[in-house]
Structure 1
Amino acid sequence: MKIILCLALVVASHALPKADVYPPHLTPFRVSTPMDQLQTFIRPVQTLPTKVHDVSLEDTIPESFDAREQWPDCPSIGEISDTGNCWAPWALSAVSVMSDRFCIHSKGEKKIKVSAEDLLGCCQDCSLGCLGGYPDTAWDHWVKNGIVTGGGYGDTDGCKAYAYESCNHYVEGSEKATCEVLEDQPTCVKQCDSSSFNYENELTFGKNGSAYALSLEDAQIQLEIMTNGPVQAEIVLYRDFYDYKSGVYQPAADTFPIVLHFVKVIGWGVENGTPYWLGANSFNTEWGDKGFFKISREVKSIRLLAIFGGLPEL
């Protein structure tokens, strides 16, 4: 059985990030837990092949890179999703990367959004609904079964829109209702929200044999982003990450890791001498730097723990 922390701890992490007391079965990690032990528990069993880029190309890697600037004709790269009252960052970050890569590899001709709602309901082997999921299996599902088009809550430009409304991810001054994770298990309904779309016609696919993981060396991740577009990344979410506003984030000494989290990484750079990864979160644009963030590439406690990607069938 795959071991993935978000399946066990997600309710506590999302609904009670500021709390000091958690239900016994949802207790987060202790501060003293070593990172190598954390990685043992939170990294899913690897089912995808590992793609390796030619290391001779390392000299081509620039000091900074932003996929939004590299592919300005692909607006999905700069869009921020919202997991709402369903803990589905694993699904939202996956379909966001898939959407970006459709646009990038079609040279801007296919500006489609891949549906997180369809992935949540129809990937039986990768989803426990609003209590987490397995991103490696999600990429495999895209290749073998396909995922229909569809955007965020209320979006009518696609087959199946995300069913969970935006909420407040503990941002002071927000007028949105506070997020509270639901234990929903979306069902697989092979029908579009509107009769204007046909489910089978709206299916998108990953290219056969194209779903993969990346090794965790910086150069391999950078070459992948430069070559194929943003990637899906697995990180540890710390309690003080909810308070992030700007700059290069690294966990405070007195914080603790709560849960596994999945984000989209769109680039990298250096700020005030600190190398960072540039990422897009799924807590809507009120959070962080309009939904984006930078995390240190030097601090081991916030390192990327797994990277996933794939290529679209155009």
Structure 2
Amino acid sequence: MTAPPILDKHLLRRREARAAPAPEGIDFLMQRAIDEVAMRLAMVERRFERAIAGFGRGPALAEALLASGKVDEVLPLEQSLAAARLHRVRAAVADDEALPLAPETINLFASVLSLQNANDLPGAFIQIRRSLKPDGLCLAVFPGGGTLAELRHAFMHAEAEMMGGVSPRVMPFADIRDVGALLQRAGFALPVVDREVVTVRYREPLKLMAELKAMGASNALSERARKPATRALIARAAEAYRELYGDKEGRVPATFELYAVSGWAPHESQQKPARRGSGQVSLAHLLEEKNRD
């Protein structure tokens, strides 16, 4: 029996369409993710003929890839027609879990704040890997781990108090150790996963909730409560947020844990790990030396 999907992708696409483009200053995480991709691309000493700008909800990612001077051609993919129409170049509408890409046809796949919405993250990585030519590169940034932990706990506290039980309000995010394993499982060479914790402080929890809605990032869990949260519940959750996490000035933190991942399609020119047993120095000897210091 097939497990039900974690996220309602149809609802996600509708919300993305309504949120495109996000009001200026709201989608600060998107710009941070794009800047991270651009920085990592700048450190790569090679050019890429064909690149995919994956699901950037607007032209900023595609423009950053071209501005790097290392990409010759970019095809943007978007999940909604509204987002695709924001581009000044040809863009395609696609499902991020059913990529319209033939095997070994692109040199670079860049993705920002999209992979967290994959119901099948292993399958998404495998599709990206297969679309890359040998020595092609995947660069992606997406939230994971402890993202929005404070908001999740505040709603749990409020619902348990008012209703005697809880329903899922904040989507689950992948753990960094799982992401590294999934990259290897998908067949990427030289996989890297880096973690950055971004803490944003708000004077009012309701402002955070409003910004998430404006980003198209409000609750889209398949098993969410079908009745919208009442004003009383939202007000109590905001109050619980302040009680649990408020500082002396009355501000509250919102944690965003961002994973920056990279992986290469295997190629014979790439560095290979040393053959097992080929080391010339004893690990026991190194540990003994370290313990003496």
TM-score class normalised by the smaller sequence: under 0.3
Which fold has the larger relative contact order, with Cα–Cα distance below 8 Å and residues 6 or more apart in sequence?
1
Normalising to structure 1: TM-score of the pair? 0.26
Between Structure 1 and Structure 2, the one with more helix by share is 2
* TM-score for the superposition, normalised by structure 2: 0.27
Higher strand proportion: 2
| Structure number with bigger Rg | 2
